[in-house]
Structure 1
């Protein structure tokens, strides 16, 4: 069995949903990814016995993430007013 390697990928511009769904495509079927903070920076810890992500693959993940976020924003009702019904306060 090949040795596994773990490395940090900065999360700026990368959606968690995208990297989790595409990591096996880029790094092999046994690759896993989880949220991680390294030296105060949020990102992902990738563990794989396959090759590490290349700069081009990281750029592809960022592009896919942007497309994903744009789709999500069109489908979800972001910043829409939510009616709140408040009961009357009772006097003690």
Structure 2
């Protein structure tokens, strides 16, 4: 007999998609899946699993890991130690590089 699947919405504030997709099976079991989802106008994730729902502590772990991930992504290719997560990035403009 297959275990029943439970789906629930997890608000995405402070949680990186890359992190939750890599860690969801660790927290909720090997059959757990997660996908981007919007519920009542809020962006987040739809978690589907036959295992237990994420606890508050696990959600905080995901947020902490997400912050570390985003900081590392922001540091890639930058020499300064002042990390500004969510730094504005110009798009649609040519970037001139001296060299």
- Tell me the TM-score normalized by structure 1: 0.84
SS in 2 for 1:50: coil
Gaps of 5+ in 2: 79-86
Larger mean CA deviation between 11-20 and 69-78 belongs to 69-78
Tell me the equivalent position of 2:9.
8
Q: Distance in 2 between matches of 1:17 and 1:73?
A: 14
Name which of 66, 83, 86 aligns with 2:96: 83
C-alpha distance in 1, partners of 2:69/2:47? 21
Alignment of 1:45-64 (within 5 A): 45-64=46-65
- Normalization by structure 2: what TM-score? 0.79
Deviations 1:13-56 (A, max 9, x none): 00000000000000000100000000000000000000110011
Q: Which stretches of structure 1, 4 residues or longer, exceed 4 Å deviation after superposition?
A: 76-81
Q: Which has the larger radius of gyration?
A: 1
Deviation at 1:76, TM superposition (A): 4.5
Higher RCO structure (Cα 8 Å, ≥6 apart):
1
Which ranges of structure 1 fall in alignment gaps of 5 or more residues?
85-92
